[in-house]
Amino acid sequence: MKILIIGDVVGNPGREAVRALVPQLRQRHGLDLVIANCENVAGGAGVTPKTADELLSFGCDFLTSGQHIWRYKEICPYMNGQPRLIRPANYPTGNPGNGSGIVTAPGGVKVGVLNLVGRVFLENVDCPFRVADREIEKLRKETPIILVDMHAEATSEKVAIGWYLDGRVSAVVGTHTHIQTADERILPKGTAYLTDLGMTGPYNSVIGRKVGQIIERFLTGRPQKFDVPEENVILCGVVVDVDSKTGCAHNITRVQERLLPF
Ligand SMILES: [Fe+2]
Ligand SMILES: [Fe+2]
């Protein structure tokens, strides 16, 4: 089965790219399922019930997130009632929402999705490696097809979790840096891997925000308002081809699709 996994969708331009491009990509690649990271979908940071609903109505079957998930407090009750949006599983016990879930493809095949957040240069949460062990054991009782969104800053932490989970999950893909890496591969025991999917949003930006404002921040060291540019929009992600019986990945292909030519 073929699954498109889309990197961090940023603001209104990101949502627009999903709305316009996902139906085309579905047709072109014969996709069975579409998954997107939504942590930046509301104005560039965070996710609201309305923006999550929009992504789901634009053809995303399931949403993962990251450390920005907590920005709008109304997302907490929403997550508790919306099994198609998850947050990193390794936040301490007792937090709202789920860290993993199951989505069923139109043909009836179940796919497990696990979201983790890294600890290097991010918050001091529970160990993503040990939490992955626990969650994968749970998901494997339902299905051999498991996708992992490792939301992390450090390449080393992402690569390490890829090797750690090789042969136990179908794919480990990274999010959070908003810059697509070129290291896609199938690891020796059958797990598809990519360090970062990249961003779905304005390409002429600094990870989705206006260039001038970010440079000003670096020059002055002072907090600035960061706006999301509307032009030069790109959708980034991967298409993973997974054996629906064994859960092994056969292929991983990077996707970079422009909303309009530029
Ligand atoms: Fe992000
Ligand atoms: Fe993030």
CA 7 to chain centre: 5
Strand blocks (E) in the chain? 2-6, 33-37, 62-64, 100-104, 110-117, 146-151, 171-175, 185-186, 192-194, 201-202, 233-242, 249-258
Query: 121-151, pLDDT tens digit by residue?
Result: 999 999 999 999 999 999 999 999 999 999 9
Q: What is the rounded end-to-end Cα distance, in angstroms, of the chain? A: 32
Q: What is the pLDDT of residue 84?
A: 98
Q: What is the CATH number of the domain that holds 190?
A: 3.60.21.10
Which contiguous run of DSSP H or E holds residue 225? Answer: none
93 Cα–ligand 1 center, Å:
23
* Structural domain count, the chain: 1
| pLDDT digit string (tens) for the chain, length 262 residues | 999 999 999 999 999 999 999 999 999 999 999 999 999 999 999 999 999 999 999 999 999 999 999 999 999 999 999 999 999 999 999 999 999 999 999 989 999 999 999 999 999 999 999 999 999 999 999 999 999 999 999 999 999 999 999 999 999 999 999 999 999 999 999 999 999 999 999 999 999 999 999 999 999 999 888 999 999 999 999 999 999 999 999 999 999 999 999 9
Q: Do residues 32 and 239 touch, judged by C-beta distance below 8 A?
A: no
Residue type (1 letter), 120: V
- Domain with 152, as residue range(s), is 2-258
- Number of H helices and E strands in the chain, helices first, is 6, 12
Ligand with the closest atom to the CA of 179: 1
Q: Do residues 184 and 192 touch, judged by C-beta distance below 8 A?
A: yes
Which residues form the catalytic set?
A: 68
152 Cα–ligand 2 center, Å:
7
Q: What is the pLDDT of residue 152?
A: 98
Which contiguous run of DSSP H or E holds residue 16? Answer: helix 11-29
Ligand with the closest atom to the CA of 37: 1
Q: What is the pTM of this model?
A: 0.98
Q: What is the pLDDT of residue 134?
A: 98
109 Cα–ligand 2 center, Å:
29
